[in-house]
Structure formats: C-alpha cells, structure tokens
Structure 1
Amino acid sequence: MRWGRLAALAAVLFLAAGSIPHADELAKVVGYAYASQGIPYSWGGGHGKRPGPSRGTCRGYSGSVRPCPAERTLGLDCSGFTRWMYRLAYGDDVLGRGTTDDHIRRMRRVRTPSPGDLVFYGSRRKTHHVGVYIGGGKMINAFATGTTTRIDDLGEVKDLLGFYHYSG
C-alpha cells in the first residue's frame, strides 16, 4: 500500500537527516512527493490544523465532477499537498494553512529551480495551482477532482508563473 511506503520512506529520511548535518530539505520534499503518488484529489483537502490528507469541502467548488465529492474524499488539493510535503521535510508546518496565494508569500522566486522547489501557476495577483518541481520539466502535484497525486509535465497547466524556494 502506498501509505506504507510513505511511512517507510519517512523513517529512512528521518534517520538519514539525523546522521547528516544540514540535511537537504528539498531532496526530502521530492522523496516524500514521490512516495505520496496516488493519493486522491479532494478540493480543500490537506487544510486542517495539521497538514496531511483530510476530507475536503464543497464550499467554492467549481469542478466538473458532480455532485462535489470532496466532503466524502480523504485526500489533498494542490496547496494541501505542497503544505504536507514541506511539513514532512522541514519538520514544521512552514507553509501554514491557506491557499496558493498564501503559500507563495512565504517563498522567494528563483530563476533556476531545484528539485523540491514549488512551481506556481496563475498571475502575480491570483495563483490557482502549485506543484513540487522534480526536475526535467516535471512536477508532482494534486491536479484536479477525479485524479490522484501524480507526475505531470510543467506544461499540463498553461499559465506558469514561476518557481519559488522556501528560505526558512
């Protein structure tokens, strides 16, 4: 089961981080993101007091799947997914609750991304999607209702805003 693989990877990364001074958090983000593929998308999922899969909400939902399945789906939306990945890697809820607009404010834009940086879509005024950059023009993300967390080309969403790095 994928959840078991995530727990095993978390244990390995925890032990490795304890033995390597200044462990690379971005590499841990990517490791956790790979291990978490296949978690259902849920509008509003991942935004509880503690990051991680949760039931979503139908408030504000405009997806094509009707009726809205979020309240009965244990999963993550895009910002809930990145929030959870960064919580696992940094050991704290560094992105906090909120939307992609809230999360981008805690980051700094970079021209050359590293795996583990976040890739945002939308405009400077309003973002609407975020994923974890893994290199090679790809990201892992919670894409949309009816999908699971997965690897996509950066061009899967058309309005790439840029790459952002958490500086802590």
Structure 2
Amino acid sequence: MSRSMGVNRALRRRLVLIGGIVALAAAGSAPLNEELSRAVEVAYAAQGALPYSWGGGHAARPGPSKGTCRGYSGSIKPCPASRTRGFDCSGFTRWVYDLAFGGDVLGPGNTDAHIGRLRRVGVPQPGDLVFYGRPGRTHHVGVYVGGGKMINAFATGTRIRMDDVSVLDDLLGYYHYRA
C-alpha cells in the first residue's frame, strides 16, 4: 500500500470518529452554529495528516490533490508541488468547509475568490476563516479555532498545523460564512 493511501485511510478514520462524536453531541444539544463546530473538528483532525502543496486542493472537487509549480516562488527548489499530494492554504479551507457545510460553499479559486463569499466580523468564532494581506491582494487563510490560534496549510515543507494568528504580520481580519 502506498504511503499516501495509508495517510488517506488514517485521515478518513479520524474524520469518521470525530463525525460520530459530533453527531452524538449534537443529539443531546445542537450547537448554535453546527457547521462552524464541524469545521473546527475537521481542521483539528487534519493536523499533521497532509503536507502543504502549492495549488493543492483545487481539483474539481475539494480535497487533497497534487499541486502545480505554475507561479511557485517557495524556498524549496526545485518546486515539489507537482509531485506532492496535499493542500495549499485556500485548498485546505475549501475542503474543511466542504466537509463542514455539506458542499463546496467556497468554490474554486484562491483566497481573493473565497473572501468574496464571506462577511467580515469583528469578533471571530471558532470555525471562521482568518485572512492575511489586504483587500484584493490576500495571500493566506486559515481556520480560526479560538484562543488566538488557527489551523492552516502554512508553506512548502510543512504539514497541516496549528499556528498563532500572529504568525504573519499582515492580518486582514476574520470572515464568516452563513449557510
């Protein structure tokens, strides 16, 4: 069995387990925002499971995919994206929201395309998205999990991980999707 198939099975098992836990908890008392709660659970389960891949996660359907070297300017040379199955930052958040909301609510595209489908909030909730850059020129996004932390696909050479939202110095803001 290939390593990527083993990673996919392990990730699938984690997600099924977490889905069951979320379903049991929801049966007792439905959270105010069930989709955002699921987004946080999916993001936590994905930590360490898959690598960053420039352009990864942008196939026709959300999910891990090989990336592209077109436009790549990362520090690892030669570009590993076309042979790395994983996510870039917006591919990761697209996949998390697809699983949480039951459909590809962010759609294809990059961080600028995704931010246009959301509304900015002053007080973030776990599960909201945190964007970096400036309007029309965003360059990074992660899933806010509370306590000043986010889970994200950060950069080439890393895996899905948790970081402080201050990891980058150009925080644009927090954005919310309402189904």
The TM-score, its normalising length taken from structure 1, stands at 0.93
**Residue in 2 aligned with 1:58?**
69
CA distance in 1, matches of 2:83, 2:150: 27
**Residue in 1 aligned with 2:91?**
80
**What are the ranges of 5 or more consecutive residues in structure 1 without an aligned counterpart?**
none
Deviations 1:81-121 (A, max 9, x none): 00000000000000000000000000000000000000000
CA distance in 2, matches of 1:15, 1:60: 44
Gap change, CA 1:167 and 1:61, over 3 Å in 2: same
CA distance in 1, matches of 2:134, 2:65: 28
Structure 1 residue 42: deviation in Å? Answer: 0.3
Instruction: Find 1:111's aligned residue among 108, 118, 122.
Output: 122
**Residue in 2 aligned with 1:150?**
161
Structure 1 residue 151: deviation in Å? Answer: 0.3
Instruction: Find 2:150's aligned residue among 139, 142, 145.
Output: 139
**Contact 1:17/1:23 (CA < 8 Å) preserved in 2?**
no
**Residue in 2 aligned with 1:9?**
18
Deviations 1:121-165 (A, max 9, x none): 000120000000011111000000000010000111110000000
Q: More deviation in 45-54 or 15-24?
A: 15-24
Aligned residues: 168
CA distance in 2, matches of 1:17, 1:144: 35
User: What SS class does the counterpart of residue 28 from structure 1 fall into?
Assistant: helix
Structure 1 residue 167: deviation in Å? Answer: 1.7
Tell whether 2:46 aligns with 1:36: yes
User: What SS class does the counterpart of residue 128 from structure 1 fall into?
Assistant: strand
Percent identity between matched residues is 63
CA distance in 1, matches of 2:20, 2:131: 29
**Residue in 2 aligned with 1:27?**
37
The TM-score, its normalising length taken from structure 2, stands at 0.88
Kindly report structure 1 stretches of 4+ aligned residues shifted beyond 3 Å. Answer: 10-23
**What are the ranges of 5 or more consecutive residues in structure 2 without an aligned counterpart?**
1-6
CA distance in 2, matches of 1:14, 1:60: 41
Gap change, CA 1:120 and 1:23, over 3 Å in 2: closer
Structure 1 residue 15: deviation in Å? Answer: 6.5
Deviations 1:37-75 (A, max 9, x none): 111000000001110111000011000000100011110
Partner amino acid for 1:45? G
